[in-house]
Amino acid sequence: MMSLLRRWFFAGILVWAPLGVTLVVIRFLVNLLDSSLLLVPTSLQPAWFNFPGIGTILTLLIVLGTGALTANLLGKKALGWAEQYLHRVPLVGSVYGSMKKVTETMFSGNGNAFKKVVLLEYPRAGCWTIGFMTADPSPRLRTAVDGADLVAVYVPTTPNPTSGFLLLLPRAAVRELPISVQDGMQYVISLGVVPPGSARLPAA
């Protein structure tokens, strides 16, 4: 009897655990998107604005509207002018530029902030992780360590790839993987659940 109850218990956990996590994540995202209601002054908010999900709809409309405006020639020029001013602001320009490159890589098919997906030993020898080779370091950085040919590798955190670590490693210390940047990013975001296509890791 106890064996049967234990089997039923774990079978129920397998059903409710993923459902519960899914509901928590959806609730968090809805509450986050609902924060866009703060853009509308309280005096201008009708009574139905307090209905759950209205902020999500408003956020989606803002994103779609912004995309529609910047998709045409005039919108692209206006965005370019605004970005020029942002890049001139100390700290703001560097943060915005970095986040824009990461976002382009994650959500755009033609983003080129990351060049290749690599495998490297991190945070210790014998422990392997996924990294993304970024733009080549300057000549001074590439030869700063005993004349070694250094490469810049971004190691993202999971499941939030917008935070991570920038490592300068000898080129011989990284192994290029025969997968696309999009597949590598999907592998990181999915906690390793979604394999990167049918690519095979290089032999040691």
Tens-digit pLDDT profile for residues 26-38: 777 777 777 766 6
CB of 119 closer than 8 Å to CB of 130: yes
Calpha distance 185→13 (Å, rounded)? 30
Tens-digit pLDDT profile for residues 102-139: 666 656 555 556 788 999 999 888 899 999 988 777 77
Average pLDDT, the chain: 77
pLDDT of the residue at 112: 57
CA atoms within 13 A on the CB side of 107: 8
pTM: predicted TM-score of the whole model, two decimal places: 0.51
Calpha distance 202→130 (Å, rounded)? 13
What is the domain class of 116-189 according to CATH?
Answer: mainly beta
